Structures are given as C-alpha cells and as structure tokens.
Amino acid sequence: MPLTLQQIRSNCQQARDRMAQARSEHWAFGAFNLDDEATLRAVIQAALKKHAPVLVEVSQGEVDDIGLDNVRDLVDNFKADYGVEVYVNLDHSPSVEAAKAGIEAGFEFIHIDISQANHDATDVEIIEATKEVVEYAKLTGAMVESEPHYFGGSSNVHSEDIDYGEIKKTFSSPVGAQAFVSATGIDTYAAAIGNLHGKYPVPKVLDLELLQRIRSAIDCNISLHGGSDTPGHYFRDAVKIGVTKININSDMRYAYRTALEKVLSENKNEYSVAKLISKDVIAAVQAVVESKIDDFNSAGKAMVH
C-alpha cells in the first residue's frame, strides 16, 4: 500500500536524525543490496538478531527487475512483520529522472551518480545534476548522496589484482570534497580512499589518514562504497573517524551463489529451489550481514518500538 507524503516525510526525517546520531555515537548504517526477496529476508533477520538499524538498497539493475514501488512495498511489509528499523537507499542512480522517481517512491536515501553512468561526465554536469536532485529531494526530505568522480570496480568477483597506482588517481581530496559539498549541498559525501566495488584476490587497503582529513574538511555525512572484501579493522576505525554509511554487495552475492551451488549439488533430486534457498542460502547471506553489523558498531543501536 503506497505511503502518504506525510508518512514519507516522517520516515525521511527519522533517517536524517538517525544519521546524525550515528555520527555522534560513532557507528554506521550498513547499506546492503537487495537482489531478491531472499537477500531482503537475510538482511532483515540479521537486523532483528543484532538489534541493528539497516539500509537496504537497489541500483538501476534491481529497479528494472523489481520496480521502485515493489521494493518500497516489500521493505515496508518486512518492516511491519518484524518490527525492524530499516530504510531504503537508491544506489548509483544513473540520471536525474531516475533519482526523482526514487524520491517520489518514498526512498529515504538517494545516491545520484552521473559519473557512474557516464565516465566522461564533466564536473559541471555532475554538479548541476546533483544540485537538481538535492532541490527536488526537499519534497520529501530524502537524504542525497553523491561524489565528484567516477568510482571504480564492479559488484562482482574479480580475478585481477588491485592496481593502487590507478586507483589513487581517483582518491578523494579534502579540498575537492569541501568544494563539491559546498557547490551541491549534498547530505552525504561518498569518499574514495581505497574502497573499491567488488571482491578481489587481495584484501583492500583504506587510507584512514586521508579519511580523517576529509572528515575534518566537510560537515556532512560520509559514506564508503565498495565495502566487500575489506578487513574489518578498517571499518571499525572508519566509524570512529565519522563514517556513517557503508555499502556491502559483492560479499553477499558471493555467499549467495556459493551456498546455492553447494546445496544444489547436494540435493540433485530437489526441484523446489526456493526450499533450498530458504534453508541454506538465506543463512549464508545473513551471516555476512551480521559480521558487517558487528564491524560497523551498529549492533544494539536500533530504535526501540
């Protein structure tokens, strides 16, 4: 059932207040990608077990598969059934129009990412598009996130090593972050400090000293994308510095697929795949989410209803 504008505004204000609280108390929301109902159930069950507030997020591929309104309804149904604190993020929205649709659907968090869709987008194009979304988000109070550069990698399992020489060329800078936040009025800045989308053969290395300088340079929220395959100590330090949103996708997808392959190979005569997913796959994904919640220091931080 669609939310009223008043309900959407109330949810967005609560999300805004909670992000401020996360920063002051040094914990972060895990933003976990939703591929299907099974991954949503895994996130919700982990949030319930850990008594943690969470974000679930969809990018354009999932939006095309599931639909914005269906995502909103699915999340709200689970929210009502389980009594968990959960918000929805539109991740890497490729256009102003797509971001506006997410705002209208009642998503509390909107990530506008023109450079992800068009690697050749100019600084002016990125800033103007971001400003337009920030202005439109005033309709509901949704929190807008963006970055001034293309963010590397992909939400998959990579076989190549990480080329930090190349990656460092796209690192955020305190001066650049300050200028972008000032020009756009965003609520959340997506920092690049060694975080990278996807799983790689070697663990990621985050430049926490750079993160500290970025934190000192800007007053809005800071998010980290590409959180998969990152040693947990980086996250524990990042939330102490003041990161309040960390995105996880590939670790969940890897757990999903490996668990599914294993259970299919062990149950060759079972044709109800949904049964196998409910029994084994959801548990594997849930374990990933629980471990991240611990790293983000958000266990026990859910609002009491």
Find the radius of gyration of the CA atoms of the chain.
18
For residues 292 and 246, is the Cβ–Cβ distance under 8 A? yes
For residues 237 and 204, is the Cβ–Cβ distance under 8 A? no
Crossing angle of helices 208-217 and 174-184, in 10° steps, is: 40
Length of the chain counted residue by residue: 305
Q: If DSSP codes are grouped into helix, strand and coil, which group holds residue 255?
A: helix
Q: How far is it, in rounded angstroms, from Cα 42 to Cα 146?
A: 27
CA angle in degrees (0–180, nearest 5) for 262-266-267: 115
For residues 163 and 120, is the Cβ–Cβ distance under 8 A? no
Taking only the tens place, the pLDDT of each residue in 131-172 is: 999 999 999 999 999 998 766 555 666 666 667 777 777 789
Any idea which residues carry the catalytic annotation? 91
At 193 the pLDDT is 92
Reference 102, options 122, 126, 127, 75; nearest CA is: 75
Neighbours of 81 (CB within 10 A): 9
Taking only the tens place, the pLDDT of each residue in 44-54 is: 999 999 999 99
| pLDDT, one tens digit for every residue, the chain (305 residues) | 689 999 999 999 999 999 999 999 999 999 999 999 999 999 999 999 999 999 999 999 999 999 999 999 999 999 999 999 999 999 999 999 999 999 999 999 999 999 877 888 899 999 999 999 999 999 999 999 999 876 655 566 666 666 777 777 778 999 999 999 999 999 999 999 988 777 676 778 899 999 999 999 999 999 999 888 899 999 999 999 999 999 999 999 999 999 999 999 999 999 999 999 998 999 999 999 999 999 999 999 999 65
Give the β-pairing of 221-224 and 188-191: parallel
At 115 the pLDDT is 85
Residue with tokens 């999903």: 256
pTM of the model: 0.94
For residues 49 and 289, is the Cβ–Cβ distance under 8 A? no
At 248 the pLDDT is 95
CA angle in degrees (0–180, nearest 5) for 211-61-122: 55
Domains of the chain, each with CATH number or no CATH: 5-295 (3.20.20.70)
Burial 245-265 (b: 16+ CB within 10 A, else e): bbbbbbbbbbbbeebbeebee
